[in-house]
């Protein structure tokens, strides 16, 4: 029985390595671009008290995908689930109010409030104190 020559073995190892690198690069580029397309941010001043309620505005950080209400996976105020109100999609680079006048259990005045908003790409958290 004859063994594979060192040259053929080296060529096969290089081909396998190039294949693995190519598949990995393709997979990672798809995962990273897809997950970051629905990323959001809460701008400085994007959460504030308006009379008895809270107003929350988010910014779509994606480059090509709009964000709809179904893309918001987590939305909590003081640990309570809140439904995001997004009547029209938030276009890339656009900021939009996703909650307007949330009453924090009756009144928002007098205490700090923790707000958590998240999509499949990221979760952001902030705190606001109403007076």
C-alpha 40/C-alpha 71 separation (Å) is 10
**Pair (23, 85) in one structural domain:** no
**Pair (24, 64) in one structural domain:** no
60 touches 120 (CB < 8 A): no
**Pair (20, 61) in one structural domain:** no
Domain hosting residue 12, numbered range: 1-36
**Pair (56, 103) in one structural domain:** yes
Q: What is the pLDDT of residues 106-130, one digit of tens each?
A: 667 777 888 899 888 888 999 888 7
**Pair (108, 49) in one structural domain:** yes
- Tell me the three state secondary structure of residue 62: coil
CA angle 115, 121, 127 (to 5 degrees): 15
- Retrieve residue 49's tokens: 């008290």
How many domains does the chain divide into? 2
**Pair (29, 46) in one structural domain:** no
- Retrieve residue 44's tokens: 């400085």
**Pair (50, 103) in one structural domain:** yes
pTM check: above 0.85 = no
C-alpha 84/C-alpha 77 separation (Å) is 11
Q: What is the pLDDT of residues 67-113, one digit of tens each?
A: 888 888 888 888 888 888 888 999 998 999 888 888 876 667 777 88
**Pair (26, 79) in one structural domain:** no
**Pair (29, 66) in one structural domain:** no
């Amino acid at each position: 029985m004859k063994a594979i020559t060192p040259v053929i073995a080296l060529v096969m190892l290089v081909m396998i390595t190039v294949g693995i690198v190519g598949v990995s690069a393709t997979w990672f580029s798809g995962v990273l671009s897809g997950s970051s397309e629905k990323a959001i941010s809460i701008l400085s001043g994007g959460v504030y008290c308006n009379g008895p309620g809270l107003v929350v505005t988010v910014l779509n950080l994606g480059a090509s995908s709009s964000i709809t209400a179904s893309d918001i996976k987590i939305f909590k105020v003081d640990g309570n689930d809140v439904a995001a109100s997004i009547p029209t999609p938030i276009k890339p680079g656009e900021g939009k109010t996703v909650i307007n006048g949330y009453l924090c259990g009756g009144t928002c005045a007098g205490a700090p409030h923790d707000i958590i908003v998240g999509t499949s790409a990221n979760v952001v958290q902030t705190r606001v104190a109403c007076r």
